[in-house]
Amino acid sequence: MAQLNESLKIPCKEEVEFSVAFRWQHWIRALSIVVLVISGFYLAYPFLSPPVNAEPTGFLYALFRSWHEIFGFILVAVILYKAFLFFFSKQHANERVSFKDFLNPSVWISQIKYYLLIEKHPAIKGAYNPLQFIAYVGFYIMIFLLILTGLILYSNVYHSGFGGLIYAPMKFFETLFGGLSTVRIFHHILTWGIILFVTVHVYMAIYNSVFGKEGGMDAIFSGRKWKKNH
pLDDT digits (tens, 9 = 90+) for 69-94: 999 999 999 999 999 988 888 887 88
The band of 56, judged by pLDDT with boundaries at 50, 70 and 90, is low
CATH of domain 14-48+56-228: 1.20.950.20
- pLDDT value of position 22: 86
The band of 109, judged by pLDDT with boundaries at 50, 70 and 90, is confident
Over residues 139-157, mean pLDDT: 94
Answer yes or no: pTM beyond 0.85: no
What's the chain's average pLDDT?
Answer: 84
Amino acid at 223: G
- pLDDT value of position 99: 84
Range of weakest confidence among 48-52, 124-128, 130-134, 150-154: 48-52
The band of 152, judged by pLDDT with boundaries at 50, 70 and 90, is very high
